[in-house]
Amino acid sequence: MIDFAWLADHLDDLLGRLAQHFVLAAIAVGVGFVLSIGMSIAALRRPRLRTTLVTISGVIYTIPSLAMFAALVPVTGLSTLTAEIPLTLYTLLIFMRNILAGLDAVPAEVLEAADGMGYSSRGRLRRVELPLALPLVIGGVRLASVSTIGLVTVSGILGDRFGGLGFFIFEGYRRSFPTEILLGAIPSILLAVVVDVVLVAVQRRLTPWSRSNPADRGPAQGLPQAMGSSV
């Protein structure tokens, strides 16, 4: 069923597509993260802005990805921008929810102690609130990465220059050639798993304090609350 000779011929293609897949996803996750951090900090003490931003990113999240790629083609053409805009927008809801949940979870007495000792509000955010939000923030990065790696395949609809590993899936489907479909599907799954494992290691490294307390072992427990069922 699997055509190994064909696979051997196309290993170079695989590496190229894998790199493209990774880069497309990394740009979206990176840009989405920076935007979301900014929006979350702006929204943190402004309840109305917060509701507005979370609602908008929630609405965006409900738009089917194929539709969004297609809708952008008349505006931005068949460009990298057309691939990256939807990928980035889909990360916003994940990031905003996790970052805000992380900041909300900082205990009130910790904030009171910080204020009482003379932290400025910026110093408190930087030295106390953001570090304590880190487990949930990194949890957001994990979720956004995995979900974006999945969505990059869909951008293959825009043509040969996009889609990363999704290219193989589309082409294999068109040619009714299962080996090529698997060449797209399996590496993209592996990529998602590897990225997730690396991020877990990063989180453990960055939040040594959350390991000493077995009741608070990072994002695994936090995620279901942070990314609620309303998505």
Partner 1 sequence: MSTAERVVFEHVTKRYPGTGKGNPGAVEDLSLEGPAGKVCVLVGPSGCGKTTSLKMVNRLIEPTSGRILIGESDIANRDVIDLRRGIGYVIQQVGLFPHQTVGENVATVPRLLGWDEVRRRARADELLKLVGLDPGRYAGRYPSALSGGERQRVGVARALAADPPVLLMDEPFGAVDPIVRERLQNELLRLQERIAKTILFVTHDIDEAIKMGSLVAVMQVGGHLAQFGTPDEILASPASDFVARFVGADRGLKRLALVRVGALELRPAITARVGSDAADARRRAAADDFRYVLVVDDDDRPLQWIHPDRLPAEGQVPATDDMAAAPLFERQTTLKDAFSMLLASDVQAGIVVDGEGAVLGLVTADMIGERMRQAS
Q: What is the 3-state secondary structure (H, E, C) of the chain?
A: CCCHHHHHHCHHHHHHHHHHHHHHHHHHHHHHHHHHHHHHHHHHCCHHHHHHHHHHHHHHHHCCHHHHHHHHHHHHCCCHHHHHHHHHHHHHHHHHHHHHHHHHCCCHHHHHHHHHCCCCHHHHHHHHHHHHHHHHHHHHHHHHHHHHHHHHHHHHHHCCCCCCCHHHHHHHHHCCCHHHHHHHHHHHHHHHHHHHHHHHHHHHHHCHHHCCCCCCCCHHHHHHHHCCCCC
Residue span binding partner 1 (CB under 8 A) among the ranges 11-19, 74-82, 84-92, 118-126:
118-126
User: Which residue among 74, 118, 224, 228 contacts partner 1 (CB under 8 A)?
Assistant: 118
Q: Which is nearer to partner 1, 161 or 211 (CB)?
A: 211
Q: Which is nearer to partner 1, 78 or 134 (CB)?
A: 134
Residue span binding partner 1 (CB under 8 A) among the ranges 62-70, 173-181, 187-195, 210-218:
210-218
- What's the min distance (Å) between Cβ of 30 and partner 1? 24
Half-sphere exposure of residue 108, counting CA atoms within 13 Å on the CB side? 0
Q: Interface mask (CB under 8 A) for partner 1, residues 119-158, using x and -?
A: xx--x----x--xx-x------------------------
- What's the min distance (Å) between Cβ of 110 and partner 1? 5
Write the CB contacts of 67 (distance below 8 Å, at least 6 apart in sequence): none
Query: Does residue 113 touch partner 1 according to CB under 8 A?
Result: yes
Query: Does residue 205 touch partner 1 according to CB under 8 A?
Result: no
Residues near partner 1 (CB under 8 A), total: 25
Query: Does residue 115 touch partner 1 according to CB under 8 A?
Result: yes
- What's the min distance (Å) between Cβ of 187 and partner 1? 37
Query: Does residue 116 touch partner 1 according to CB under 8 A?
Result: yes
Query: Residues interacting with partner 1, by CB under 8 A?
Result: 107, 109-120, 123, 128, 131-132, 134, 207-210, 212-213, 216
